[in-house]
Copies of this chain bind each other. A is one copy, B any other.
Amino acid sequence: MGVQPTTERGRRTRERIVAAAAEVVAQKGALGASLDEVGERAAASRSQLYHYFDDKSDLLRAVAESTNEAVLGAQDDLFAGLGTWPGLVRWTDALVALQEERGGVGGCPIANLLGQLGERDDEIRAVLSDGFDRWEASIRAGLTAMVASGELRADADADWLAASTLASLQGGLILAQARRDPLPLRRALDGAIRLIATYRTTTKA
């Protein structure tokens, strides 16, 4: 996987390259992203790219990892609140608001990369799959906490509900991207919430 930088200067250059690559990939797609453009945007020359990365695939792998961190990191605060019902609702509201902000453009960056590279590079697929795993684990942790606190009934299957909820989210994002309209995302997440609600102990909304 290329040369690992040993100096501070090299570390920053490598980071600049990954950040620039992530931007270009988001704009032009993974295959449409040219190393020339990445280099230009990172103010790094061709040979620097090949100094830190073996080839384009290697760079894209780094982009995939960085995308995981960006997507999950942006939700960290919200994940922390998932252990309560209002926190769960807040999380979905934030996701819909984010999609509204973007005018429905662009779905989930992880899913986008998966669609473009998942069948072409198994390592990248594994990286992105791990991103989904962590996402699902955060949801599951919240649900498990709600079971422990008695907010959800003990027969609620957190594994199943977490997987199903993440699927609703991902599917909702796809439909929102297709229609350029956040409504399908809202509906999908309402479905997920409503399903979880069938396991609530308190009846009020």
Contact = CB atoms under 8 A, between A and B. Distances in A.
B179 A164 contact: no
Interface of A is mostly: helix
A198 interface: yes
Interface residue tally on A, bucketed by range: 35 or more
A166 interface: yes
A68 to B, nearest CB: 12
B105 A119 contact: yes
A128 B175 CA distance: 10
A174 B29 contact: no
A45 B178 CA distance: 34
12 contacts: A106-B119, A115-B115, A118-B178, A129-B179, A163-B187, A164-B190, A167-B167, A167-B191, A168-B171, A168-B188, A170-B174, A194-B198
